[in-house]
Structure 1
Amino acid sequence: MDLDAYVAAHLAEWRRLEELTRRRRLSGPEADELVERYQQVATHLSVVRTSAPDATLIAYLSSLLSRARNRAAGTRTGTWAGVRRFFVGRFPGALYRLRWWWLGTLAANVVVTGVMILWLLGHPDVEQSLLSPEDVEQLVSHDFEDYYSEYAASHFAAQVWVNNAWVSALCIALGVLGLPVVWLLFQNIANLAIIGSIMIRHDHAGHFWGLILPHGLLELTAVFVAGGMGLKLFWSWVEPGELTRTQSLAREGRTAGTVALGLVAVLLVSGVIEAFVTPSGLPTWARVGIGILAEAVFFAYVFVLGRQATWRGETGDLDAVLLEDRVATQA
């Protein structure tokens, strides 16, 4: 490549980007132009590095891109607008893009839980090996219900929120390894299946479902979303597709951060329901109805707002202007 000719052809674009980075204020069209010029110059830097690696020019373009990236970040909308965009765009967009991963995780766990409960009901000797008759009586008559009213509602909501956020965070953090996520999910549903089978066998099925469903629908869905995200993170380096393994893992890792942050809010809602609705004096149908409503709102959030967000190009990843350009950093 003729480096002098290449510089002459694109110097005006570089000077224009430099001018935009120096302006104190940018109008809306100028901010859009800044992002567009940034992407163009990033491509130019990639070409120079690959075809005519001139150290001086590479240093200049790298410095220019760094200033442009910082300037673009500085022209972004305010804090509340950023929060709004997160919950209207990035988070639902990530959930919708990854829907088959967490829906598959959800379906598999529901099926396994159902099979485990049926198997345990057909094998009462397993219950006897796990708990003594006195322990079973205590669980059925007192412990299961008392769990939801042992502490003040506000304290219990915080406790539940922290616990479930921790489980979800582990699913995502250990996702790159794959198998630990499966083990965490299995432990979660095994406890549910054991307690459920004991309550059902002792004629407390209505009591069990009446206390589990109000908060459990949304709570377990959030955990399954985290599990699905963790498995996707694992698969991103096993089968990276058109990206390199590093790029694929980095992209899904950033998306995992988006999902983890969004799930904090989802689990806060389920924690509030578990603390204030589950142990309340409302009739069972009303408490279960609130749980179903919360779950329906979540699915509407994903499949309405999430779908619209993906149409606008949201994936759950960070904006390009906040990242080191992937193309530009390839040698």
Structure 2
Amino acid sequence: MDLDVFVSTHRAEWDRLEALLRRRRGLTGAEADELVALYQRTATHLSVIQSSAPDPQLTGRLSRLVARARSTVTGARSASWRDVTHFLTHGFPAAVHRTRHWWVPTALVSTVVAALLGWWIGTHPDVQASIAAPGELRGLTRPGGEYETYYSSHNAAAFAAQVWTNNAQAAALCLVLGIFLGLPVLLVLFTNMLNLGVGIGLMSSAGRLDTFLGLVLPHGLLELTAVFVAAGTGLRLGWTLIDPGHRSRRTALAEEGRAALGMAIGLALVLFVSGAIEGFVTPSGLPTWARISIGVLAELAFLGYVFILGGRAAGAGDTGDLESDGRSETVPTAA
């Protein structure tokens, strides 16, 4: 291809497209149609030049021209309060509901693992001795010990913020690391259950399991549920890499990855609530039954949000992915 001849033949079209882009807000209907046609032709010209006679300066000019024209033709979509409302009432609860077959079993198995670890540690003094010296164990489990003062030893607001940040990071890790076939997610999950099991075992061996549960349950119900949702979603993302189903692997990972990103934002909000409970309710002077009741109500509210509101949204076809105008077109695949 003679590049000079090609440029002289089509330069007028490129100049005309550039002129239309400069005054795109005052275009007539005919000029808007002309802009679309010139955008399509210029995109074709760019493809021809890149494949036949690549010229860096010309390619750069046409690339910028095509990008500006694409933005004008397709329109730039900006987030709005409508998107926030839709996310909170449809997208996020639908995504959590859709992954319930992963995170509910994850929650059940993890709870059993934590209980078994607690029983094992609580009934085996030699295991307790491997965790810490007897004096240190007494300092942890005695009345007014570290397990009790942990929740009241810091400013409530600062402590709630710290807890929220740490838990949000753990949830995000579970979601992101799912891409590695879900194996790192299992490690993060086991580490959390081991820490819980150690607390159960040590406090039960000291005859103070009721005190421990009274401290953990108010915030722990909602906090652990969020972690289980994140872990289950991460495992589902890892399984998608193995079995994408009727979709191509790239399409499946893109869809599930976008939904997982949205869930990370939603779970950060859930963990904000659990962090506030841990910072202000757990160390408060309320009776144990009142503190646990607050935790149970928060947990029931979240489950109702997921299974009622999320179930309806999922039944209506919402998956938690971006709306169709916010994602790239996909190529149809055979089932």
Bin for the TM-score computed over the shorter chain: 0.7 to 0.9
- 1:68–1:325: structure 2 CA closer, same or farther, 3 Å change rule? farther
The answer as to 2:268 corresponding to 1:264 is yes
Distance 1:71 1:321 in 2: 10
Q: Which amino acid letter does the alignment assign opposite residue 108 of structure 1? A: V
The answer as to 2:215 corresponding to 1:207 is no
Residue 146 of structure 2 is matched in structure 1 by 143
The answer as to 2:200 corresponding to 1:222 is no
Instruction: Verify the 8 A CA contact 1:136 1:198 in the aligned structure 2.
Output: yes
Distance 1:122 1:328 in 2: 58
Instruction: Verify the 8 A CA contact 2:94 2:320 in the aligned structure 1.
Output: yes
Spell out, residue by residue over 1:24-75, the C-alpha distance to the aligned partner (whole angstroms, 9 max, x if none): 9xxxxxxxxxxxxxxxxxxxx9xxxxxxxx957x99xx9999558843736x
Structure 1, unpaired ranges of 5+: 1-21, 25-44, 46-53
The answer as to 2:105 corresponding to 1:101 is no
Query: Per-residue deviation at 1:81?
Result: 2.1
- 1:63–1:128: structure 2 CA closer, same or farther, 3 Å change rule? closer
Distance 1:135 1:145 in 2: 14
- 1:158–1:70: structure 2 CA closer, same or farther, 3 Å change rule? farther
Structure 2, unpaired ranges of 5+: 1-23, 27-39, 49-65
Residue 160 of structure 1 is matched in structure 2 by 163
Instruction: Pick one of 175, 180, 191 that aligns with 2:178.
Output: 175
- 1:303–1:65: structure 2 CA closer, same or farther, 3 Å change rule? farther
Spell out, residue by residue over 1:289-323, the C-alpha distance to the aligned partner (whole angstroms, 9 max, x if none): 10011000000000011011112221011111111
- Partner of 1:282: helix, strand, or coil? coil
Residue 259 of structure 2 is matched in structure 1 by 255
- 1:243–1:112: structure 2 CA closer, same or farther, 3 Å change rule? same
Tell me the TM-score normalized by structure 2.
0.77
Distance 1:184 1:294 in 2: 24
The answer as to 2:118 corresponding to 1:114 is no
Instruction: Verify the 8 A CA contact 2:123 2:205 in the aligned structure 1.
Output: no
- 1:65–1:327: structure 2 CA closer, same or farther, 3 Å change rule? farther
Residue 87 of structure 1 is matched in structure 2 by 88
Distance 1:286 1:69 in 2: 58
Distance 1:68 1:237 in 2: 36
Residue 278 of structure 1 is matched in structure 2 by 282
Query: Per-residue deviation at 1:234?
Result: 0.3
Instruction: Verify the 8 A CA contact 1:255 1:316 in the aligned structure 2.
Output: yes
Matches within 5 A, 1:227-242: 227-242=231-246
Instruction: Pick one of 307, 316, 323 that aligns with 2:311.
Output: 307
Instruction: Verify the 8 A CA contact 2:160 2:276 in the aligned structure 1.
Output: yes
Instruction: Verify the 8 A CA contact 1:211 1:278 in the aligned structure 2.
Output: yes
Distance 2:133 2:262 in 1: 45
Tell me the TM-score normalized by structure 1.
0.77
Distance 2:125 2:67 in 1: 70
The answer as to 2:128 corresponding to 1:127 is yes
Instruction: Verify the 8 A CA contact 1:114 1:193 in the aligned structure 2.
Output: yes
- Partner of 2:77: helix, strand, or coil? helix
Distance 2:312 2:225 in 1: 21
Q: Which amino acid letter does the alignment assign opposite residue 140 of structure 1? A: T
Query: Per-residue deviation at 1:134?
Result: 0.6
Instruction: Verify the 8 A CA contact 1:157 1:275 in the aligned structure 2.
Output: yes
The answer as to 2:328 corresponding to 1:324 is yes
Query: Per-residue deviation at 1:121?
Result: 2.4
Structure with higher Rg: it is: 2
- Partner of 2:304: helix, strand, or coil? helix
Residue 289 of structure 1 is matched in structure 2 by 293
Distance 1:123 1:72 in 2: 63
Query: Per-residue deviation at 1:327?
Result: 2.1
Equivalent residues, number: 275
Query: Per-residue deviation at 1:328?
Result: 7.8
Distance 2:82 2:147 in 1: 43
Distance 2:310 2:72 in 1: 30
Aligned residues: percent identity? 46
Query: Per-residue deviation at 1:130?
Result: 1.2
- 1:82–1:132: structure 2 CA closer, same or farther, 3 Å change rule? same
Distance 1:195 1:311 in 2: 41
Instruction: Verify the 8 A CA contact 1:69 1:322 in the aligned structure 2.
Output: no
Distance 1:323 1:213 in 2: 40
Distance 1:165 1:70 in 2: 36
Instruction: Verify the 8 A CA contact 1:167 1:223 in the aligned structure 2.
Output: yes
